[in-house]
Chains A and B, each alone.
Chain A
Amino acid sequence: MVGIKSYGAHIPRFRLDRNIMQLALLFLGFGPLRGEKAVANWDEDSITMAVAAAKDCLKGENKDQVDGLYFATTSQIYSLRQNAGIVAAALDLATNSRTADFTDSTKSGTGALLAAADAISAGSLNSCLVCAGDCRVSKVGSNGDYTYGDGAASFLLGKDDVIATIEGSFSTSHDFVDRRRLEGERLEHLWEERFIRDAGYMKFIPEAVMGLVKKYNLNIKDFSKVIYACAFTGAHAALGKTLGLTPEQVQEPLLMTVGDTGVAQPLMMLVAALEDAKPGDKIMVVSFGQGCDAFYLTVTDNITKVKDKKAIKRNLANKVPLGSYEKYLAFRKLMPVEIGIRGEETVFTSFSIISRESRELYGMVGNKCKKCGTPAWPFQRVCPNPDCGAIDQMEPYRFADRLANIFTYTSDFLAPSIDPPSSYGFIDFQGGGRCAVDFTDCDPNALKVGMPIELSFRIKFADEKRAAVNYGWKAMPVVA
C-alpha cells in the first residue's frame, strides 16, 4: 500500500522574537505580539529549504529508487523555469524522473503529496519525493509580516517499507480569497483577518474533516493526532473544540516557534506528529488554501526504525536569535542596504555553464579516480594526486551528502555581503577530497580548524540583470 517511507524537515536557524517586531512597528500602532518566527537566512529561499528538508528525508534512503519529485510552494523563485527541476538537480536525482511544481495555494503541499500517492498507486511512479517549502514576504507591518515563518517539509512516498500508509483522502475547492498576488508582484495582499478566520478556517476545516470522516466511515476519536493548518493561534484552538478533539489529539501548529509556513505548515506538523508516533496510530492531515485537502494515515511498525533525522525537534533546537527586525528586512530585500561599491560590480550569469555543468554546480558531484581512489570537486579530467595523474579514469562522486572538516577558514569583512563578515574556507572531506566553499549558518567566532562540517544548498548570488538566482553548496557546522 502507498505510504510515507521517510520524512524530513528544515527550519531556518534564525528566529525573530515578535516582541522585537512589535517595538520596531510601534509607530503603526501594534499591540503585543507573542512568540517567535523562523527567518530564512539571506541565502535561503523556498528552493533551498526544500532541498534541506529533502536531504534530511533522503538520509539513509536509496535515492536510486526515486523517480519523481514534486515541489510545492507559494513563494516560487522562477515563474518560468521549473523550480522542482532545481531541487532535483541539487539532490542529483536521476534525469529520467518526473518533476513538477505545485503552486499558488497554501494547500499545494498536500496537493503534491496526494498527486504523488496517486501516481504511485497507478504504477506511474515507483517512489516520489514530495517537498514543500515557503519563504513568504508581505508588507511591513501586515498580518503576514508577523504571522509568517519560514520552513519546509519533505516526504518520500513509495509502496515498500512505509512508515505510514495513506489510507484515504477528501478534498474541497472554494474560490476563497484570503491572500493573493498577481504575476510580477513580490509582496502578498491579505484580506481581512476576521473574514479569513470565520468564513475560511472555521468553515472549511470542519467541512473537510467531516467529509473525510463520512467518506471512510471513521470515528474522529480513533485518531491519535489531527493536524489542521491555521495561521491564527486562537482560531486553531477554537477549531479543536469545534471538531470535538481532546487537547492530546490536536497537533501543535508551530505558530509560536516557527510561524505560519504556508504550504509547509500542515506537512511540517505531520513530520512532528510522525516523530512521536507509535505503530498503529492514526493521523489525519488537513491543509487550507482555496479549500482543503484532508487525508489520513496509519502508522506502521517501520516507524520504530526511523533514526537520525533533524525533522522538527532538532531543527527547533538549532536556533539563534536574529536580534533585529531591520536585519530581517535586509535579508528579505525589503530595505535597500549599502554593501559597498565593490558589491555593485556586475557578476555575469552564464546559463550555458549552468545547464552544461549542473551536476557539478547544483548536485555537487565531482569525481573519483578509478586508479588511485582520489576524489575531487570540481570535476577533473586529470587526477590531482601527484603520484597518480591518471587521465580520464574518473567516475562520478557526489560530495553534497558527505561530512567534512574545516582545513582552514577566514571571516572576511572586505567581501561584499548583506551579513558581514563573509566566512569561507577550505574543507577536507571525510573519505578524501578538498575544496573551497562559502560557509553559512555559522558563528564566525566559533569556527575552528578541524571543526566538523556538513553541506547545505544555498543561494550564492542573485543576478537581477539576468533574472537569475544562482545556487550552490555551502558548508556549515554540523547541526547537533
Chain B
Amino acid sequence: MAEGIKDKVAIIGMGCTKFGERFDASPQDLIVESFVECLQDSGLEKKDIQAAWWGIHMPDISMGRGATALGITLKLPFIPITRVENFCATGSEALRGAVYAVASGAYDICLALGMEKLKDTGYGGLPLAGGLGYKMPLNGFNVTAPGGFAMMATKYFSQYNLSPQDGKMVLAKVSAKSHKNGSINPKAHLRKEVTVEQIMNAPIVAWPLGLFDCCGVSDGSASAIVCRADMAKKFRPDPVFVKSLQISCSSGEEMLYTKWDGSHVEPAYRAGIAAYKEAGIKNPREEVSMAEVHDCFSITEATAMEDLQFSARGHVKDDIDAGRFNADGAQPIQIDGGLKCFGHPIGASGLRMMYEMYKQLQGKADKRQLKDPKIGLTHNMGGFPSMNVVSVCIVGK
C-alpha cells in the first residue's frame, strides 16, 4: 500500500529573484541570485545538498539541455542532478523531484531550482511552440499561448451564457485584483495598479483576451531546499511542511474526444482531488487559506477556482464579484501578484508560487502578509487547456 508523502518533507529554505525583463542579467546571474538567497535562508552550506532537480522549459534559448548548466553554474560538487521539464509546470516538477526523493528516504536534503531566461528572444510572448516537435507545424495550427487560452474563454462565455462584455468584465476583475497585489511586491515584474476600465479597453491580444488578461513574460529564478520533516526544526523554527504534491496529465480525451466541455481544465480538477485526498482536506473552499494559482491568463485563474472547488462550476463570477479572492477577501488568491504581475519565467514559476506560500506561512510576507494563514496551495499548469499537466501542492505549518 502506497504511503504517500504527507508530512514527510519540509521546506527549510527558499530564494526568489526579482522577476521581470532582466535585460541586465544572464541566466547564470539569475540562478546564483535565487540560490544565494535560498542557501542563506536555510542556514545550510552548499556541501549539505545531496541531490538537485533543475527546472528549465526552454533551455535551447538560454543554457542548453541537460543537468550540467546547474552543476557548473553553482559548482555543485559532482552530486546527482536531474533536469526536468513539464511545460509551464516545470518549476513544480523540480520541487516534486526533490520532495519525492527525500520522502523516499534516499536523501536527507535536496535542492530544487527553476530558472527561465525568456527575454533574449527579441519579441514579446513566448517563443514559438518548437518544443512540440517537427510535426507540429505540419498538422498543428498557428497557436500561441494567449490564443490557446482565449479559446477556453470563448467556450466559457458560450457555455454559461455570458455576453462578451459580461465575460470580459469578470476576467477584468481577476486581473485588477492581481495588479493591486503586485503593486506592493518589490520583486514583482509589473508593479502598477490598473482599473477595470483600463483592462476592458486594452488592445486585444487573442479574442476575447486583451493585454491585461495576459501575464508578464519574464526572466527569473526561484529555488527551494527541502529536508526530512523530522530533522527540519534542527535548521529553523518555522519550516513549512508538504501535505501533498500531486500532478495530473491529459489523456488526449480533451482534444480528441467530444466529451470535454472546453471551459475547464480536467487535469487541474483531477490533481486537486488527489492533492486534497492526500492532505486530508474535505472542504477546499473553507480549509485552504490562500493559493497561488497558474494565472497565465485571467481565464485560467477563473476556471482554476472552479477546478480547485473554491467556486461551484459556472459560478466563479459570483465569488469574483463578491471579492472573495481579493487580499482582504475570505480566500486570497495571487497575494504576490501571480503570474499576471509577479511574472512568468516558466521554469521558475512553480517555485515562485511556493515562495509566497512559504513566506506567508512564516509570517514574513511584509506588506502582503495575511492574517495567520494555515494552509497554502499552489496550482501550476503547463500546456494548453486541451492538453496539459497540472500540479497541485498543499503546504502548511
Contact = CB atoms under 8 A, between A and B. Distances in A.
A374 B257 contact: yes
B383 to A, nearest CB: 13
A424 B123 contact: no
Contacts of B252: 380, 384
A415 B253 CA distance: 26
B138 A436 contact: no
Contact of B141 (A341, A361, A438): A438
Interface stretch (A15-23, A95-103, A286-294, A352-360): A352-360
Contact of A433 (B121, B125, B258): B258
Nearest to B121: A341
B147 A357 contact: no
Contacts of B124: 342, 414
Contact of B144 (A353, A415, A450): A415
A414 B137 contact: no
B256 interface: yes
B154 A410 contact: yes
Interface stretch (A162-170, A267-275, A343-351): A343-351
A426 B142 contact: no
Contacts of B127: 342, 345
Contacts of B123: 340-342
A354 B134 CA distance: 10
Contacts of A414: 124-125, 144, 146-147, 205-206
A320 interface: no
Given A347-B137, A412-B142, A472-B138, A426 B251 contact: no
B140 interface: yes
Contacts of A438: 141-142
B257 A409 contact: no
A345 B129 CA distance: 10
A458 to B, nearest CB: 11
Given A342-B125, A407-B155, A436 B130 contact: no
B255 interface: yes
B327 to A, nearest CB: 30
A241 B137 CA distance: 54
Interface string A397-415: 0000000000111111111
Interface string A427-454: 0100011111110000010000110000
A461 interface: yes
A435 to B, nearest CB: 7
A417 interface: yes
B185 interface: no
A221 B201 CA distance: 68
Interface string B143-170: 1101100111111001000000000000
A421 interface: yes
Interface in A27-65: none
B283 interface: no
A211 interface: no
Contacts of A341: 121-123
A386 B253 contact: yes
A424 B142 contact: yes
Contacts of B258: 407, 428, 432-434
Contacts of A350: 134-135, 138
Interface size bracket, A side: 35 or more
B128 interface: yes
Interface in B94-140: 121-125, 127-128, 130, 134-135, 137-140
B72 interface: no
Contacts of A318: none
B262 interface: yes
B207 interface: yes
B163 to A, nearest CB: 13
A415 B138 contact: no
Interface in A378-394: 378, 380, 384-386
Given A342-B128, A436-B143, A348 B134 contact: yes
B256 A380 contact: yes
B124 to A, nearest CB: 7
A384 B130 contact: no
A422 interface: yes
Contact of A422 (B128, B142, B256, B386): B142
B151 A410 contact: yes
Interface in B201-222: 203-209
Contacts of B142: 412, 415-417, 422, 424, 438
A159 interface: no
A476 interface: no
Contact of A424 (B134, B147, B203, B208): B147
Given A413-B205, A450-B158, 11 more contacts: A361-B139, A378-B139, A408-B151, A410-B153, A410-B154, A410-B207, A414-B146, A424-B142, A425-B151, A449-B154, A470-B137
Pairs of residues from A and B, 10 with the lowest C-beta to C-beta distance, nearest first: A412-B147, A410-B150, A384-B256, A408-B155, A412-B206, A449-B158, A341-B123, A408-B151, A350-B134, A414-B144
24 contacts: A341-B123, A342-B121, A345-B130, A349-B138, A350-B135, A360-B139, A374-B257, A376-B257, A384-B257, A385-B253, A386-B251, A407-B258, A408-B154, A409-B151, A411-B206, A414-B147, A414-B206, A422-B142, A432-B258, A434-B255, A438-B142, A450-B158, A460-B137, A472-B138
